[in-house]
Structure 1
Amino acid sequence: MLLILPLALLWSYKEIQSQFHQPQAILVLGGSTRKLEREKFTADFARKHPNLPIWISGGSPPSVTRKVFTKAGIDTKRLHLDYRANNTVENFTTLVGELENTGIKSVYLITSDFHMRRATVVGEIVLGSRGITFKPVPVPSDNSPEPLAKSIRDGVRSIVWVATGYTGGNQLPNEH
């Protein structure tokens, strides 16, 4: 019971803090089960936010991704494509340093709706460890939310990364 109050206060603080930071970039987690779903959604979203750089971790091959954005009228100079991640935790851990180094304090986080709970857990831990907030922007789908166990597992892996720099990714299959 004593642990619940500090966690609730921390969550409330995070909610208030995120409202003061207008997102400075778009962060997309690739790996959608339906090809190009997240990229097409993001291209449309990016048209409404023309001054924001777009960071994509994983996803479709670079030439395909660039074609989607070009077709949507988005300048591909806005794209920062990264293919180092093999799983959701690494989607965050491979880019958080670059986001931090460019002075980004808040991002729009785009991923599929069924994946958002896990992405939010990992994002709170990994991005939060560097003072970066985010606003979730779910891509609609017909899929059921992922099992809670995946969020718990990746939350623990994220805490281990914050403490040690190790993601545990070598031992897990691609988890997108």
Structure 2
Amino acid sequence: MTLGFFEVSKIAWALLAPETLLFLPFAVALWSLMAGHRRVPAYSLAIGFGLVLAVGIFPIGDLLLVPLESRYQANPKLGDVDAIMILGGGSNPAVAARWGTSGISEAGDRYLTGAALSRRFPKSAIYFTGGSGELVGAKISEAAVATQILEAAGVDRARVHLEGRSRSTAENAKFLRKITGLRSARHIVLVTSAFHMPRAMLTFCAAGWHDLRPYPADFRSTSFGDGIGWSFARHLQTLDTAVKEWVGLLAYQVTGRASQYC
């Protein structure tokens, strides 16, 4: 089996994710205990315990998300809109397949924002792009449940155009170029999570899209003071999201999948 960029990125992230790295001090402590060391286990446990406390109490991930989410204005003013492009990532196809529901995920605001814009601009076409971002076990694409979600939000099915092969932001940009047939992006709105919008815009620019109008949704970060307090699961999830996005942005720019500037 030949590993491509998608497969390598999934495997690399599984190893580099903060939730994985938090295990390292405890793994070192266990190994050193089994090896008969005395000081190393104590140091490793102290480091691990300190990291868990820091992540659990302080919203470190929010600090990392703010520069990403503030890159583009929230609720920007829009003029004429010919098309609205919604990037996948707002649903869980596995849940939808298991229970026969829409399976909207934490990023479901992408759908809600796209639906709201479709009501503001009733003559615009709606494009949804999203296959499966899972490395293994993917049975259906996100596009397969997108129609159900958008129709439930009041969007006319006749306006919706689906792209269900893409597994990454780079493929979103590439495959949308093929199905839209649109030559000018001046009146096209791009909808995705606010933290993902910088990478999305630079990626679409590298794929030949210019003058796209970003409309960020799904804001996650809070002020640092509001986020202080014990919430290990929430803080770790936000930290994972932030680090993943920064790593993804860097990897995309290094490999030429995203422009340096746009």
TM-score, normalised with respect to structure 1:
0.65
Cα RMSD (Å): 2.7
Among candidates 18, 26, 30, match of residue 84 of structure 2: 26
Amino acid at match of 1:133: D
Q: In proportion to residue count, which structure has more strand?
A: 1
> Runs of 5+ in structure 1 lacking a partner?
1-20, 161-176
Q: What residue is the counterpart of 2:256 in the other structure? A: 157
Which whole-Å CA distance do the structure 2 matches of 1:126 and 1:44 have between them? Answer: 27
SS in 2 for 1:141: coil
- The answer to whether residue 98 in structure 2 is matched with residue 42 in structure 1 is no
> Runs of 5+ in structure 2 lacking a partner?
1-78, 91-104, 132-140, 221-237
- The structure with more radius of gyration: 2
Which whole-Å CA distance do the structure 1 matches of 2:208 and 2:85 have between them? Answer: 11
Q: What residue is the counterpart of 2:217 in the other structure? A: 139
Return closer, same or farther for 1:118/1:61 CA change in 2, 3 Å cut-off.
closer
In the TM superposition, residue 109 of structure 1 has moved relative to its aligned partner by 0.5
Identity score, percent:
26
Which whole-Å CA distance do the structure 1 matches of 2:142 and 2:165 have between them? Answer: 13
Which whole-Å CA distance do the structure 1 matches of 2:214 and 2:197 have between them? Answer: 8
8 Å CA contact 1:23, 1:134 repeated in 2: no
Report matched runs for 1:94-113 at 5 Å.
94-99=175-180, 101-106=181-186, 107-113=188-194
8 Å CA contact 1:89, 1:157 repeated in 2: no
Amino acid at match of 1:31: G
Among candidates 34, 46, 66, match of residue 147 of structure 2: 66
SS in 1 for 2:250: helix
Return closer, same or farther for 1:159/1:69 CA change in 2, 3 Å cut-off.
closer
- How many residues were matched structurally? 136
8 Å CA contact 1:40, 1:68 repeated in 2: no
Return closer, same or farther for 1:63/1:95 CA change in 2, 3 Å cut-off.
closer
Which whole-Å CA distance do the structure 2 matches of 1:83 and 1:42 have between them? Answer: 17
Which whole-Å CA distance do the structure 1 matches of 2:114 and 2:193 have between them? Answer: 11
TM-score, normalised with respect to structure 2:
0.45
